[in-house]
Amino acid sequence: MFIHNKRLQYTVRVGESNPVLGSLLLEQFGGPDGELAAAMRYFTQGLAEDDPGRKDMLLDIATEELSHLEVIGSIVAMLNKGAKAQLAEGAMEEAEFYRSLTAGGNSHTQAILFGGGPALTNSSGVPWTAAYVDSRGEPTCDLRSNIAAESRAKIVYERLINITDDPGIKDALGFLMTREIAHQKSFEKALYAITDNFPSGKLQGVGRFADVYVNTSQGVGDLAGPWNEAPMFEKIDDLEEVMPADGGDGTATVKLTRAEATVAKKMMERTASDPEVDAETGVDLGAGPGAGKVTGGEDKGTASDIKKAEKPA
Ligand code: MN
Ligand code: MN
């Protein structure tokens, strides 16, 4: 069960009203790397987790993320408090008010539609979606995803810190950013507490394909490093030599039943193309200069024809 404590995890001191900044901060309220996504990610993983250590950690962090949601949502509410009151009370001249809401942001949506409260959207007004949660129910996979999610959340906080000079907001965002660093550390430790954590899952890869680096983009700019050369990798430059990788003929085949093969042949015959037929089509009939008219006439336009056609005579 959840029990709510009325104190925030970190004190929110907002210097002045700023609905535009409030809109930007929604990125960490209802955005893909925001606190609700984080809370739902770890909460659902924790419910399904059987390992007592991971279950405990996931539920601890999920609950902390809800506390972060409360902090960031409170900052948004404080930034909008003045505008919300003016909207509700009709206290400002219409034009002046509209200008104050729309100055440089989308906070008119936030104000008009959501009444200035923290909305479960990202900073562009896109509604939160469970698709932000990409758990797969395998800890060696999900912990890596969690590590990446924490590093994304850290970077988004860093950008938000850089766009405000309000010391109270900077302070609270700095706390939230730092907690994501701590979570990343916990998830990394938990991942490496699983021995044989790579690759994810139970099946090992096919050995002769696992150590090969395929140099598919060749030419100036080719660079060697530990990510593509010995000792971990064998770099393949001559693609003709090794592809198809299985040594087969590289075609796609399937064994069909006699009935399937019969209709497949019929369909192929019905839709066969005849290279001898060069019909005049609507494209030819309507073609102007530069459109590539090739049948029934002379006009085969060039790029310079297009320029001529566009210029007034
Ligand atoms: Mn968080
Ligand atoms: Mn976190």
pLDDT digits (tens, 9 = 90+) for 224-249: 999 999 999 999 998 888 888 888 99
Q: How far is the CA of 145 from the centre of ligand 2 (A)?
A: 12
162-177 average pLDDT score: 97
CA dihedral 296, 298, 300, 305 (to 10 degrees): -140
Check whether residue 253 and residue 159 sit in a common domain. no
Task: Using the predicted structure, report yes or no on whether residue 305 has a pLDDT greater than 70.
Answer: no
How confident is the model at residue 66, as a pLDDT?
Answer: 98
Q: Check whether the bond before 139 is cis (ω within 30° of 0).
A: no
Q: How far is the CA of 168 from the centre of ligand 1 (A)?
A: 18
Check whether residue 141 and residue 24 sit in a common domain. yes
Q: How far is the CA of 234 from the centre of ligand 2 (A)?
A: 38
**Mean pLDDT for the chain overall:** 89
Residue 43 lies in a domain: yes
Check whether residue 180 and residue 217 sit in a common domain. no
Q: How far is the CA of 180 from the centre of ligand 1 (A)?
A: 6
Check whether residue 251 and residue 132 sit in a common domain. no
Check whether residue 167 and residue 30 sit in a common domain. yes
Sign of the alpha-carbon dihedral angle for 244, 249, 255, 260: positive
Q: Who has greater pLDDT, 83 or 60?
A: 60
Q: Cβ distance 239 to 261 under 8 Å?
A: no
Confidence label for 134 from pLDDT (cuts 50, 70 and 90) = very high
Residue 13 lies in a domain: no
Residue 97 lies in a domain: yes
Task: Using the predicted structure, report yes or no on whether residue 302 has a pLDDT greater than 70.
Answer: no
**Spatial separation of the C-alpha atoms in residues 225 and 246, rounded to whole Å:** 26
Residue 224 lies in a domain: yes
Ranges 64-73, 80-89, 218-227, 273-282: which has the least confidence: 80-89
How confident is the model at residue 285, as a pLDDT?
Answer: 79
How confident is the model at residue 281, as a pLDDT?
Answer: 84
Task: Using the predicted structure, report yes or no on whether residue 215 has a pLDDT greater than 80.
Answer: yes
Check whether residue 34 and residue 179 sit in a common domain. yes
How confident is the model at residue 303, as a pLDDT?
Answer: 53
- H or E stretch including 157? helix 139-162
Q: How far is the CA of 23 from the centre of ligand 2 (A)?
A: 21
Q: Check whether the bond before 244 is cis (ω within 30° of 0).
A: yes
Length of the chain, in residues:
313
Ligand nearest 173 Cα, by number? Answer: 1
Check whether residue 56 and residue 160 sit in a common domain. yes
Check whether residue 186 and residue 243 sit in a common domain. no
Domain termination site, one of 127, 159, 192 = 192
Check whether residue 146 and residue 259 sit in a common domain. no
Residue 219 lies in a domain: yes
Residue 282 half-sphere exposure toward CB, CA atoms < 13 A: 0
Check whether residue 33 and residue 154 sit in a common domain. yes
Query: Other CB atoms closer than 10 Å to residue 296's CB: what's the count?
Result: 10
| Token duo for residue 112 | 């008009």
Range of the domain at 146: 19-192
Q: How far is the CA of 168 from the centre of ligand 2 (A)?
A: 21
| Token duo for residue 68 | 């972060």
Instruction: Report the domain count for the chain.
Output: 2
User: Which CATH number goes with the domain that contains 38?
Assistant: 1.20.1260.10
Check whether residue 60 and residue 151 sit in a common domain. yes
| Token duo for residue 212 | 């090969």
How confident is the model at residue 86, as a pLDDT?
Answer: 77
Residue with tokens 């509410």: 77
